[in-house]
Structure 1
Amino acid sequence: MAALLGTVLLAVLLPARGSAATVAGIAAKVLVGLLFFLYGARLSTRETVEGLRHWRLHTAVLCCTFVIFPLLGLAARGLVPYVLTPSLYDGFLFLCLVPSTIQSAIAFTSIARGNVAAAICAGSFSSLVGIVLTPLLAAALLGNSGAGFSLDSLLSIVLQLLAPFLAGQALRPWIGGFISRHRTVLGRVDRTSVLMVVYVAFSAGMVRGVWSQVTPWRLLALLGVEAVLLAVMLFVTGYGARRLGFSRADRIAIVFAGSKKGLAAGLPMATVLFGAESSLAVLPLMLFHQLQLMVCAVLAKRFARQPDTAPSTAGPSQTDPSPADPSDIGPSKAGPQGTVPSQDTGPSQDTVLSQADAPGVGAREVGAPQAAPSEAVPVRPEITTGRAR
């Protein structure tokens, strides 16, 4: 958060102008393209195919991201102009259309001992779908506002985000191992690209004088509205996942993937769709990003402290790839089904962004096969009886 605030302050004091603004804009696009290239090189094809089997979880995350969020954004239209200005509301509504995040969703799911593999796939699927769906939703819901949609803007977003991702996937067989061994590179590129886009957008806003439209009262009001939005989405994802019969580990993945919005994907889209007005459009997204990080950090630690985070509870969800109904796995089935599929979760550890994620997954994998010794007890009498015969 300090780095983000420092970047905003730098843009206010020393905004990029003229040729410097052009160079900074090109650098921001290159860094964002590199970020999505690394995302593609990091996500294994096998993991993606296995993640597709858990279609119920991914459908729930996509519905939260691209259905419930936009509906809540439309419901906030009544706050204009009493609480939010029209420009801030456009940015708030655009925030509701942005795809989910990848990095922080994985990190918080790992801390909370949830289904890390599902969080990886859910965040990746949401980002890929959002590359096409977010501009279409913006055209439908923000057509009369500052956002301008055209085939050129869609093509620009696809070339900037989707093309590097697909290139990374294509080159994964040759560079995937290197990327996995240097995970910190991805985190640095992520932060640097976001900070560069923020600097370019806020510099443009300072040069055009758009910040005179925002008062401290409006900022506090916007932060309050976003706090309510986050609270509602955390409740919807948690309660809805429980009502749909998901296991605890899957519910954690749904909460952290379905209630979050991605800054790395949203900022480039805003600069393309809003153009000169992007500085105000990205402000709600930036505030929501910081708010969700602080709240979800506390929530993840609370999940991790709960007593039912034992491996016997989280194990079946992490290892069972069947999309039918995770709640159907009873104690009598935990042994046979928990031991064989647990081997499939190994590759997912290569894609976790930090080494701290691996122990969370490993704890579940060690716990899941613990039913094996109880299954092996009746085997000895059969062997002894066979020898006696």
Structure 2
Amino acid sequence: MKRPQWPRWMPVDPYIVLLLATMGVAALLPARGAAAEGVSWLATAAVAFLFFLYGARLSTREALDGLRHWRLHLTILGCTFVLFPLLGLAGQALVPVLLDDTLYRGLLFLTLVPSTIQSSIAFTSIARGNVPVAICAGSFSSLAGIVVTPLLAALLLGGGIGGGGGFSTDAVLRIVLQLLVPFLAGQLLRRWIGELVLRHRRLLSLVDRGAILLVVYSAFSEGMVRGVWGQVSVVRLLELIGVEAVLLAVVLAVTWYGSKALRFDRGDRVAIQFAGSTKSLAAGLPMASVLFGAEASLAVLPLMLFHQMQLMVAAVVARRRERDPAPAGDPLRHAATDHR
């Protein structure tokens, strides 16, 4: 029996529907007490397992080969951890006209999060870009983000949102234990389990999505129990969406035309555009849970909205890039990847 397919004309990724449904369940049936502790522990374990699978999937040789493109990786890291935060800081001028202080802090946190892995690879592949470089770039960005994102949060966000959570040595240690240690464990065991993980790519996709749903449910449940959501109006949400649309448009333009000015070839420009303009839910959500505590549900709202927006816009851009004529001597690189 053929599995039912999501209608192609629907602009919303089916996974975003699951995210919205999870938020709805958290609003109606939030986890409380011992149940909340259990959900939080399960979400932490799922994220750790996800990064373990990331480590087992990435070939060490592939990573070392990717280091040869150091200029490209520095460009992508610059977009992710310099350009985005600078634009985020510029957004402070919108407070309180378009954004209140709480949503602005969430927007600023969004700009500090590392790049995606699956999405940037998938869109780079569709657009006939340099897929091996996109794989390494996404992985390097995620690893760098484990350290860089908390440090930038300490520098730019201080004590966090509304005093809940915040930066501390303990917060960094928890992020390292949850993300970096499992990744390194996966690298160490890759010799024995790497081929198995590559053969079962769907498992990585399911763990990826399942971990995010658990973190969303845990964060939004805590926000409901503490009454955080009463602080945000519909008008403010619409204004936030408009601000994020401008943010995404600016970064997409800078990554594409800036990489041309830096004399990268077309394949590398495609990788730079998609790896340099996307933000990772998988990395951002657990970090927000650690850094912002009870206020994490509001802290991740801008990230969740931006994630949906980047998927929709990047899909359109990738299809347009796919129709570009291939320059002479510029090899076409394709890879079968799972969409996030």
- 2-structure distance, mates of 1:314, 1:262: 29
Q: In the alignment, is residue 281 of structure 1 matched against residue 265 of structure 2?
A: no
Letter of the 1:188 counterpart = L
Report the identity percentage: 65
Matches within 5 A, 1:254-333: 254-306=272-324, 308-309=325-326, 312-315=328-331
**Ranges in structure 1 where 5+ consecutive residues have no aligned partner:** 319-347, 357-389
- 2-structure distance, mates of 1:235, 1:95: 19
TM-fit CA distance, 1:144: 4.7
- Whether the 8 Å CA contact 1:184–1:353 is kept in 2: the answer is no
- Whether the 8 Å CA contact 2:32–2:225 is kept in 1: the answer is yes
Q: Residues 341-378 of structure 1: CA distance to partner in whole angstroms, max 9, x if unpaired?
A: xxxxxxx96xx534x9xxxxxxxxxxxxxxxxxxxxxx
Instruction: Report what 1:353 is aligned to.
Output: 337
- Whether the 8 Å CA contact 1:16–1:204 is kept in 2: the answer is yes
TM-fit CA distance, 1:313: 4.4
TM-score by length of 2: 0.92
Aligned residues: 321
TM-fit CA distance, 1:145: 4.0
Instruction: Report what 1:159 is aligned to.
Output: 177
Instruction: Report what 2:4 is aligned to.
Output: none
Of 211, 218, 221, which aligns to 1:200? 218
Larger proportion of helix = 1
- 1-structure distance, mates of 2:200, 2:175: 27
Matches within 5 A, 1:1-389: 1-146=16-161, 148-306=166-324, 308-309=325-326, 312-315=328-331, 353-354=337-338
Shift in alpha-carbon separation, 1:313–1:222, aligned structure 2, 3 A? farther
- 1-structure distance, mates of 2:205, 2:330: 27
- 2-structure distance, mates of 1:152, 1:284: 25
- 1-structure distance, mates of 2:135, 2:260: 20
Higher RCO structure, 1 or 2 (CA under 8 Å, sep 6+): 2
Letter of the 1:102 counterpart = I
Letter of the 1:23 counterpart = G
TM-score by length of 1: 0.81
The DSSP-based 3-state class of the residue aligned with 2:330 is: helix
TM-fit CA distance, 1:309: 3.0
- Runs of 4+ more than 4 Å apart: none
- 1-structure distance, mates of 2:18, 2:263: 40
Aligned CA RMSD, in angstroms, stands at 1.4
- 2-structure distance, mates of 1:160, 1:178: 23
Flag the structure with larger Rg.
1
- Whether the 8 Å CA contact 2:159–2:167 is kept in 1: the answer is no
Letter of the 2:122 counterpart = A
Shift in alpha-carbon separation, 1:219–1:166, aligned structure 2, 3 A? same
